[in-house]
Structure 1
Amino acid sequence: MSEQRPAGGEQRDDSVAQAHGELALARIALAEDDLAHAAGHVAGAIAWAPGLPEVHELLAALAARAGDEGALELFAVEQPAFIGTVVARAHLQGRHDPMGGLRMLAQATRFDPAQPWADVSWVRAVPVRRLDPEELARLLVTVMAGLGDPAERAVAVANEVYLDLARRATAAHRDSALLHGAAAGLARRFTALSPGALAEAVRWGAHGHRLRPDKLTSVWYAYALKADGRLDQALQVMRQAWLAEPGEVDLCADMASWLADAGRLDEAIDLLDTAMRRAPDYDCAVHTAARLRFQRDQDVAHLVGLVDYTREHPVTSHEHADLDGACRGRSWLSMVGGPAESVIRLLHQIDRGDRAMTGTASVSALEVPSALAVVRRELPGLCLTIEGEPPADMVGPQRPDGTVLWVYDGLLARPAVPPPPDRAREVLDRIVSPVWANPVDAYDRALPLGQLGPGDLLSLLVHPPAGTDPRFPDGVWERAAQVYACLGLLHCEQLRAGAAPGDTGRARALLTGIAFGVEDWTTEAALFALVVAAWLDPAGRAEVRGVVGGRFLEAVQQSRHRVVTIRESLAELVLITPDMVPEVSSLAREVLTRHRERDAPEAAAPPAPPRRRRWFGRH
């Protein structure tokens, strides 16, 4: 279904004006007896302003001119269906086939619930007693699927006509369990509009459950009780339904999610354990259990195990969001780790509109080249002084076979690879984002980068595109670009040429070289790509464990005599690496705990500037 309507930010007046324009053209066509063009413009007007009275007046005039059958032919639904045509036909069909018209309106509502497609007089007056209650129940199910749970107030206002329909239908069909259950499911979505709707949902749910306590009525009733704050009563209803139908393990997954939301994690997991003893491969229970176990103990093995399960048991019933939910808001699991350098904290303090300045600043020690490159690009008038001597273990590769992306001349680093071609930048720009749903999602999004050669991807690492999205702090976009360049190496067709399907051995070797090259943001990006490779391929996990753990231990050792700004980020990467050595994981947790404790008093304050900062002389 397609639509022709203004973007969300445009005003309703614009929509009404557009509708009136369509109506004016429809009237001209109708006066010339050009019914087909008149119908097209009426459909356009309905798409812009479905509740405008003039729209329905002209639709009625067109129907009178064309006759019932002729009018329906004028609004024949083709694929892809235009939403204005669908709604116009629904109104015409509703005159003689109310249920058919309502079904079409419900599909329009599911497609775009923000518009009052069904809020017209004939729907308000439809003779519900003459309609099949089970058909009405299915109609309400279609509608509620698109509303949100609960619906936003604007959506609830646009669709209150369906709540009115549910009230009249339940009063007319007191003996329909299915209708009362569906009405309960619909009503609880209208709490933003009508506080009493929740009480109606509970009442309808209870009545439907009394009439026929099966799975459907139990679920609708239980959800209404939970929405009303009666969790234990809702759980009792669900448990009774599960006892009656032990094979319905999805009931356990719902109950476990409720218990987890209430902070009762142990109960939730015990319930899922019981369910999976009966059905060990039931996908809803497996996904929910993995999320809740990770929520309880923060062990990434649960999420990696879920990825393994999903690979071996492709989703066939419906999409699951448990992996996304477990990763959401967590560094590296759903977003690039933030920069920790003092020069980036300095940059944060300068408004983007005030950066065409001259001035001087001083930092007490050398920081990684990618961070300094961002600052020099953003503050071209800054004379930055770096104190101290260049640490030998920072300005050269960590290992002799490390990939050299930066070359130092004293304290000044310059790229060791040329800038990438425009085509490579364009491919990266289309996919880069500092956030992703989960590590596997980030890998999938990087697929188009596989068409680039290794040289182009290495160039993108050292010459990442500048961030332009003001929602993200300085440096974050560049770090995300480096992450995707490294993920692109896993897809690189040249590196995969001649290898077995799924074999990323050559890419992993190159990423390992980057990880043990010059200390930089590229170190983190390469290690993250290796971690993602290990999530996807159990055969490479031992190798990746050694690389990630070894690089972290080197950073810890170096931090004993100098600042290693990427150390905490490497600790976070250790904790999401499959099968990591327990002692290394423990050290990573200790590093992060000490870091948080040290920075806790400063959490609410602006970042501290570098030592001896002198700022700023304006042009």
Structure 2
Amino acid sequence: MGHEECGDGKLAAEGEIAVARLALDSGDLPHAADHLADAMLHDPQQPDLYEALAELCARAGGAAAARTYFPLEGRIYLGTLVCRAHIEAAAGDWDDAVGLIASAIGFEPATPWAHAAWFAREDLAELVTPDAVVQALPRAMSGLPDPMPEDLAAAVRPFADLVRAAVRRHPDHAALLALASGLVRRLGDTEEGVRLAERAHRAAPGHLSAVMFGNALRAHGDTGRALAVWEAELARDPSDTHLAVDVAELYGATGRPAKGLPWLDRVLAAEPDHPKAGPARHGLRHRIDGGTVHLVALADHHRAHPDHDYAPELLAHLVRQQPWLGIVPGAREATVNVLHQCLESPTATRDSELEITASQLEPPSSRLAVRLAFPAADVAYGSIPEPDPRNPVRPVGTRVWTWNGTEPAPAVPAPSADAAELLRDTAEIAWPAPPAAYDHAVRLAGLPLEDLLGALAHPPAPREDELGRALLAHQPELWVRAVQVFACLGIAHHRTDQPWADSKRREVLLDLLYGADDWTVEAAGFALAAVGWTQPETRTDIADHLHTRLRHTAEAARRREVTILQSLCTLMLVCPWADARALTLARTLAEEPADDTPATAPAVPKPGLLRRLFRRH
């Protein structure tokens, strides 16, 4: 359980403490202990909480006797663990008290567990043995990012102060120096981290000190020395295969991925199912070869080895902010370019009655973006170019748009209120990788097709959170595209009991792919690509249809502007299993300059729009 917002947490803690006092008054100490543990989770800095803990100890016959009410066997409740830490401190068992607080930090580092009066004792470093600090450090660091953001650093600072005091008191304790370097490095002081680790390595050369010294040097930017230290240690003792992976990846990070491959080959020769070496090798090969072959291989690796968490972690790192691989691309229409100019105008308001006229037809979804920001806007189109962008490239049974001359209108009814709200809560502009986007959309599997199709032409408003407000104010087209992407991913989950070749989900997605020029074509293309990434048996079929659509679009682009062409090229290249002709066509078209593309059309969201992926789920 995470720490609550300050106001709500304080009130909840006060309520739990009040109930605990009633239990204490009636002599029900176990019941009181349970409520104090709950209060600890709500607000560990509540002064009344520590008074109530002291009262429980007194009624139990002392702190040592009170331990029994905060057991540490079996599945341990975090509030119980922290209360036990304070009980141990009250009993004078400082080693256990510090160790338990370290465990809490590792589990929930954003909560100020160490902000307690006894942790601020000037003599605490004298009371705790250096070996206890050595044992506590890995527990705390297991949950700490490297480096730590300031809010986490503030929560952890009393623990870090104790570690620094212990180092000053025990300047020759090599293990303490080595592990302390890891903590201060995370706090951003990489120079001190290097000094501590180097002292440890000189005092007691060994595996721990070598690993920590290399980590400190790498964080400080001295990658050459880091590699030298690690390679020397592996020459002495080659048994640490994870260190060999670190060496390989450091070569990759410094622009020498080919030098890292032999390290991984040796690991895999001895341990073919190594949890990190296989994914790391795909990562290095990707740095060397480019493209998406090794990215798909990472997804395949994780599917074959679901317990190997490093594969999706590495994949997410490699595709971050890459169009379609990790983020919905920006739009290229002139209408959207004008929309951005209006949004940046100091005189424009949401009620402005804008009039936008494009010289020729553009994807009708671009008008959705304009009216999302300016509901009273009028968007008109001039000529109808040839070949007619209103026509599907083959006969289809599902249409999203209908036309009256140059005036588009939805061909599908709006989704139900419940479906719209679920899509609003599900849609994202970014995802860790295509399989993650596909998996995230499973929550839409129960929606009727009519609702999913309706959302393509009737997208709900953005969420009323920081990101939603930023999108509405600066890039509303990204929200429209995100809703369309996840609606199509929802279609990809429709009736998954039906075999792919004869399924309704395939039929509808292909109808959308082959439909009139629109953002919904791109959204359907991504949904199909995501299916291919997750279900290898569908890949040939999906690549063939993406290729067919790309050929039709490329032919049209020889005679008129096609704003979705570059996006379709990217989607084709997202499917590296396609045949060589398809990939060559996509690469060739992608490399052609798009002279008519507005210079201000964004390829990715503006800085500050992205937040943690799938943050609520």
TM-score after normalising by structure 1: 0.82
1:222, CA displacement in angstroms?
1.0
Distance (whole Å) between structure 2 residues aligned to residue 106 and residue 92 of structure 1 = 15
The 3-state SS of whatever aligns with 1:246 is: coil
Matching of residues 54-93 of structure 1 within 5 Å: 56=50, 59-60=53-54, 62-68=56-62, 69-73=64-68, 75=70, 83-93=78-88
With 446-455 and 198-207 compared, the bigger mean Cα shift is at 198-207
Write the letter of the residue equivalent to 2:520. Answer: T
Do residues 117 (structure 1) and 113 (structure 2) align?
A: yes
With 349-358 and 570-579 compared, the bigger mean Cα shift is at 349-358
Distance of aligned partners of 1:345 and 1:51 in 2 relative to their CA distance in 1, 3 Å threshold? same
Distance (whole Å) between structure 1 residues aligned to residue 270 and residue 34 of structure 2 = 57
Distance of aligned partners of 1:455 and 1:46 in 2 relative to their CA distance in 1, 3 Å threshold? closer
Aligned mate of 1:166, from 157, 163, 166:
163
What residue number does 1:485 align with? 487
1:324, CA displacement in angstroms?
0.3
1:234, CA displacement in angstroms?
1.2
Aligned mate of 1:148, from 134, 140, 145:
145
Distance of aligned partners of 1:25 and 1:208 in 2 relative to their CA distance in 1, 3 Å threshold? same
Aligned residues, how many?
590
1:143, CA displacement in angstroms?
1.0
The 3-state SS of whatever aligns with 1:350 is: helix
Aligned mate of 2:320, from 324, 328, 344:
328
What residue number does 2:590 align with? 592
Distance (whole Å) between structure 1 residues aligned to residue 353 and residue 309 of structure 2 = 61
Distance of aligned partners of 1:22 and 1:395 in 2 relative to their CA distance in 1, 3 Å threshold? closer
What residue number does 1:608 align with? none
Write the letter of the residue equivalent to 1:303. Answer: L
Contact 2:424 / 2:462 at 8 angstroms: preserved in 1? no
Q: Deviations over 1:284-307 (max 9, x none)?
A: 122223233334443101111222
Contact 1:568 / 1:591 at 8 angstroms: preserved in 2? yes
1:273, CA displacement in angstroms?
4.5
1:406, CA displacement in angstroms?
2.3
Distance (whole Å) between structure 2 residues aligned to residue 131 and residue 384 of structure 1 = 72
Matching of residues 48-59 of structure 1 within 5 Å: 50=44, 56=50, 59=53
What residue number does 1:103 align with? 99
Aligned mate of 2:460, from 437, 456, 465:
465
Q: Unaligned 5+ residue runs, structure 2?
A: 603-617
What residue number does 2:550 align with? 552
Do residues 452 (structure 1) and 443 (structure 2) align?
A: no
The 3-state SS of whatever aligns with 1:404 is: coil
With 164-173 and 142-151 compared, the bigger mean Cα shift is at 164-173
The 3-state SS of whatever aligns with 2:99 is: helix
Q: Deviations over 1:123-151 (max 9, x none)?
A: 44677678665543221101122332122
Write the letter of the residue equivalent to 1:325. Answer: H
Write the letter of the residue equivalent to 1:5. Answer: E
What residue number does 2:526 align with? 528
With 149-158 and 86-95 compared, the bigger mean Cα shift is at 149-158
Contact 1:291 / 1:325 at 8 angstroms: preserved in 2? no
Distance of aligned partners of 1:600 and 1:216 in 2 relative to their CA distance in 1, 3 Å threshold? farther
Distance (whole Å) between structure 1 residues aligned to residue 310 and residue 378 of structure 2 = 57
Aligned mate of 1:238, from 226, 230, 233:
230
1:39, CA displacement in angstroms?
6.1
What residue number does 1:611 align with? none
Write the letter of the residue equivalent to 1:63. Answer: C
Aligned mate of 1:442, from 432, 437, 456:
437
Distance (whole Å) between structure 1 residues aligned to residue 23 and residue 540 of structure 2 = 73
Distance (whole Å) between structure 2 residues aligned to residue 456 and residue 534 of structure 1 = 24
What residue number does 2:5 align with? 6
Matching of residues 596-611 of structure 1 within 5 Å: none
Distance (whole Å) between structure 1 residues aligned to residue 312 and residue 391 of structure 2 = 45
Q: Deviations over 1:173-231 (max 9, x none)?
A: 6775443332222232233xxx4xx4543344234435654443321121112223322
Distance of aligned partners of 1:570 and 1:85 in 2 relative to their CA distance in 1, 3 Å threshold? same
Contact 1:347 / 1:474 at 8 angstroms: preserved in 2? no
Distance of aligned partners of 1:320 and 1:239 in 2 relative to their CA distance in 1, 3 Å threshold? farther
What residue number does 1:542 align with? 540
Distance (whole Å) between structure 2 residues aligned to residue 483 and residue 424 of structure 1 = 15
With 350-359 and 158-167 compared, the bigger mean Cα shift is at 350-359
Distance (whole Å) between structure 1 residues aligned to residue 461 and residue 544 of structure 2 = 33
Distance (whole Å) between structure 2 residues aligned to residue 586 and residue 57 of structure 1 = 73
Q: Deviations over 1:16-46 (max 9, x none)?
A: 8987898899889878988778767766775
1:450, CA displacement in angstroms?
2.2
Write the letter of the residue equivalent to 1:550. Answer: T
Distance (whole Å) between structure 2 residues aligned to residue 178 and residue 600 of structure 1 = 59
Distance (whole Å) between structure 2 residues aligned to residue 29 and residue 402 of structure 1 = 68
Contact 2:275 / 2:308 at 8 angstroms: preserved in 1? no
Distance of aligned partners of 1:377 and 1:30 in 2 relative to their CA distance in 1, 3 Å threshold? closer
Write the letter of the residue equivalent to 1:181. Answer: A
1:235, CA displacement in angstroms?
0.8
What residue number does 1:565 align with? 563
Write the letter of the residue equivalent to 2:488. Answer: C
What residue number does 1:254 align with? 246
Do residues 218 (structure 1) and 214 (structure 2) align?
A: no
Write the letter of the residue equivalent to 1:554. Answer: H
Contact 2:184 / 2:192 at 8 angstroms: preserved in 1? yes
Matching of residues 569-584 of structure 1 within 5 Å: 569-584=567-582
Aligned mate of 1:394, from 385, 389, 398:
389
Do residues 507 (structure 1) and 505 (structure 2) align?
A: yes
Q: Deviations over 1:265-324 (max 9, x none)?
A: 443445444544554442312222323333444310111122222222332576751100
1:417, CA displacement in angstroms?
2.9
Contact 1:110 / 1:147 at 8 angstroms: preserved in 2? yes
1:465, CA displacement in angstroms?
2.4
The 3-state SS of whatever aligns with 1:385 is: strand
1:67, CA displacement in angstroms?
2.2
Contact 1:188 / 1:224 at 8 angstroms: preserved in 2? yes
Distance (whole Å) between structure 1 residues aligned to residue 517 and residue 163 of structure 2 = 64
1:598, CA displacement in angstroms?
6.7
Distance (whole Å) between structure 1 residues aligned to residue 309 and residue 401 of structure 2 = 49
The 3-state SS of whatever aligns with 1:475 is: helix
Do residues 476 (structure 1) and 471 (structure 2) align?
A: no
Distance (whole Å) between structure 2 residues aligned to residue 168 and residue 380 of structure 1 = 62
TM-score after normalising by structure 2: 0.83
Contact 2:387 / 2:559 at 8 angstroms: preserved in 1? no
With 49-58 and 281-290 compared, the bigger mean Cα shift is at 49-58
With 448-457 and 327-336 compared, the bigger mean Cα shift is at 448-457
The 3-state SS of whatever aligns with 2:562 is: coil
What residue number does 2:415 align with? 420
Q: Deviations over 1:242-273 (max 9, x none)?
A: 23343433223212333333333443445444
Distance of aligned partners of 1:116 and 1:485 in 2 relative to their CA distance in 1, 3 Å threshold? closer
Distance (whole Å) between structure 2 residues aligned to residue 324 and residue 45 of structure 1 = 37
